[in-house]
Amino acid sequence: MKRLIILSLALLVGFMMSVYAQTSQPSFPGGDEALMKYLADNVCYPEIAAEMGIEGVVTVEFTVKADGSIADAKIVRMVDPDLEEEALRLVNSMPRWTPASDNGSPADARYSLPIKFRLPTPASPE
């Protein structure tokens, strides 16, 4: 009986520790929809890229610091230098994020964000 109680307590403590040891990823204030809206509202398509019809996905990797600020942004998937510059500008001008947490404490975390640059399609004459 004593052995069963000790085993039960050990399992209970192990379960409690796993609940409190969970980590969370960083998130943009308002969630993914708000992030997409932020990108759409703040992108300035580079004029030269637009004139040349350049489109594509630029992936930016950055650190969301424990205070929610953005640091160490770098391009990990390139398309065009002008689009890359705009992607970095967008990321570096973002508001503070909700930081990741590790064991309940705010923590630095790396984040990878693909940014799609797509030119509007011309309307067909009716």
Which residues fall within 8 angstroms of residue 28, CB to CB, at 6 or more apart? 34, 35, 38, 94, 97, 98
Question: What pLDDT, on the 0 to 100 scale, is given for residue 18?
Answer: 37
| DSSP line for 78-95 | -S-HHHHHHHHHHHHTPP
Per-residue pLDDT of the chain (126 residues; tens, 9 = 90+): 444 334 333 433 444 333 444 489 999 999 999 999 999 999 999 999 999 999 999 999 999 999 999 999 999 988 899 999 999 999 999 999 999 999 889 999 999 999 999 998 776 565
- List of domains in the chain: 24-117 (3.30.1150)
The pTM of the full predicted model, rounded to 2 decimals, is 0.76
